Amino acid sequence: MTEVHPNVEQRAGIDVVRVGRKPDPLAFVPMQHQTWAGRFDDPDRLWRTLYTASDEHGAWLEVLGRFRAHPDTQAALDDIIEEPGDAAPIPAGTVSLAWLATRAIGHAKVMARVADLASADTLRWLDLRPTLRPMLDSLGVEDIDLSVATGQHRLITQTIARELRLHADADAIQYPSRYGAPTTCYALFETAGELPLIEPTAPAAGVDLKSEALTEAMVLHGLQWEE
């Protein structure tokens, strides 16, 4: 049987965009503010992950996805009984301008050893990993395909990140945006080595409410600004 290897290669000059916290949107989120809920966060909470996209539109799509309205979320909000003087909860599908005011846009070029998650070789390698197979069997997952590898089950996706980081010498994952945009996403791992190398290509920019990329992302997600 031919041995399967993940598709990991060192690449230089990858253009990325990130919508992140001021003053440095390209910085890893401080440990004290980590939620460890990101798709490719380390399940052991030892190293951080920086989420970026290949273009500004894709970066907005990814970061605003958390605000999308879901029927069960809205129903739960509608059931809240307000007491006199209580501030009304922000409706699902609404983005706070106060949240937006804390964000900036960063552009950079990245050098990294990138694991291509959309590669058949990478998916097959993951499917054969002894640390993943028992977990997948217990969850009723027969095979790891791209929908599983980039899905909402954090136990799976975070374990994938750890496998690629520790056993495939990858310090970044390349994967398609789940929102169907022609955007490539890059999850960059914090390491003690020289890679990934993240070099800003422009000063951090403030957010323009009228920017086409932001406006299109708001429309696609069905979002509105808090009044």
Q: Please indicate whether residue 207 or residue 66 has the higher confidence score (pLDDT).
A: 207
Over residues 21-44, the mean pLDDT reads 95
Alpha carbon 136 to its chain centroid, in Å, reads 22
Which pLDDT value is given to residue 176?
Answer: 94
Q: What is the pLDDT of residues 104-137, one digit of tens each?
A: 999 999 999 999 999 999 999 999 999 888 899 9
**Which of these, 165, 156, 159, 149, lies nearest to 113 by C-alpha position?**
165
Helix, strand, coil abundance in the chain, percent, nearest 5: 30, 25, 45
Q: Does 56 have pLDDT greater than 60?
A: yes
Residues 149-173 as b/e (b if ≥16 CB within 10 A, e otherwise) read bbeeeeebbbbbbbbbbeebebbbb
pLDDT band per the 50, 70, 90 thresholds, residue 71: low
* pLDDT recorded at residue 69: 81
Instruction: In whole angstroms, give the CA distance from residue 198 to residue 50.
Output: 10
Q: pLDDT tens digit string along 152-209?
A: 899 999 999 999 999 999 999 999 998 876 899 999 999 999 999 999 999 999 999 9
**CA 160 and chain centroid, separation:** 14
pLDDT score recorded for residue 1: 57
Distance separating alpha carbons of residues 136 and 185, to the nearest angstrom: 24
Q: Is the full-model pTM beyond 0.75?
A: yes
The ranges assigned to domains in the chain are 8-75+89-225
3-state secondary structure of 19: strand
Do residues 199 and 108 lie in contact, with contact meaning Cβ atoms separated by under 8 Å?
Answer: yes
Q: What is the average pLDDT score of the chain?
A: 89
29 burial type by CB count under 10 A (0-12 exposed, 13-18 middle, 19+ buried) = middle
pLDDT the model gives residue 133: 87
